Amino acid sequence: MKGARRLVDALRAKQPFKKALGQHFLVNDDVLQRTVSWADVDVEDHVLEVGPGPGVLTEVLLATGCKVTAIELDSGACDHLRSVFAAELEEERLTLLEGDALQIGWPSDITRIVANIPYQISSPLIDVLTRYHRNPNTTPLQNTVMLVQEEFAERVVMEYESDVGSLGMVVALDFDVDMGERVPPHVFSPMPKVHSRLLRMTPHDEEWPCDRRLLVQMIRSAFDQRRKKLKRSLGKPPRRLARIPGWHATRWMRAYNAMAHDPRLQRRPETFELEEWADLGVDFASCEEEA
């Protein structure tokens, strides 16, 4: 194996790092090995890697014998990867897709996602991978392991009361999440200004008693005005309500008015557990049907 430092230096010799793309590359081989180990990658897996850059994680993934599909936006990095991994590309152990991982189509048989991603795409990438996992035409994901900004990981896991928000609640509808190793800035090149953290998301495939999409809309609407009680924050239909089959502004308002005196609407969103959101969603839908 070439090792992380040599791969990063090889890319830097060809082009400067691109700050706009959030390029901070790991140069610590031990952290990379532990990342792949924590994801339980084995020879049977087809792993999606987002933002391979110089290929430091790609190399460790390929060493497990798994198949890797890597999506890279930077054309210069793509040229570098084609050179470094020419044999793996020829053997079709590695597939390189040039484009935006938030826009480009993913292979339908991905089993795991393992990535050191640009921090600025953390939240939208979770939305994309959630849609992928819930798509009946794709292979269900076994897990996702990403290296993200530590503050972001804390918000997903909701380790502290102050971290409770729509991001963590919506993720919890589909995944069990836990934080792994804390990664300091000095093991990156160039160094970021913040600590990073490994984040693992494992699907639990729990079925909710009401339309999951309704729960997402309710949770996000409530946390958009998190300091207000639900009676206020749910008083207007969500902007994307029409995307849920059978729901529209008139139905929402009928349901809201039918529940106007429910004591739960006097609470603020951070006081709700996930099961309470589900109960509220069920009652919200059923009371409208009875109205």
| Spans of all domains in the chain | 4-203, 212-290
* Cα–Cα distance measured from residue 61 to residue 197, given in angstroms and rounded to the nearest whole number: 19
Q: Which two tokens stand for residue 183?
A: 């990664």
Which residues is 95 bridged to in the sheet? 69
Do 212-290 and 4-203 fall under one CATH topology? no
Q: Which residues contact 196 (CB under 8 A, 6 or more apart)?
A: 147, 148, 149, 150, 182, 183, 184, 185, 188
pLDDT at 291: 43
* Cα–Cα distance measured from residue 265 to residue 231, given in angstroms and rounded to the nearest whole number: 5
Which DSSP state fits 93? Answer: S
Is the pLDDT at 273 greater than 90? The verdict is yes
Class at the top of the CATH hierarchy for domain 4-203: alpha beta
| Each residue's pLDDT tens digit, 131-163 | 999 999 999 999 999 999 999 999 999 988 889
The predicted model scores a pTM of 0.93
* Cα–Cα distance measured from residue 55 to residue 3, given in angstroms and rounded to the nearest whole number: 10
Helix, coil or strand: residue 183? strand
| Each residue's pLDDT tens digit, 63-98 | 999 999 999 999 999 999 999 999 999 999 999 999
Question: Quick check: 72 and 96 in contact, CB under 8 A?
Answer: yes
Using 50, 70 and 90 to split pLDDT, how confident is the model at 289?
very low
CATH number of 212-290: 1.10.8
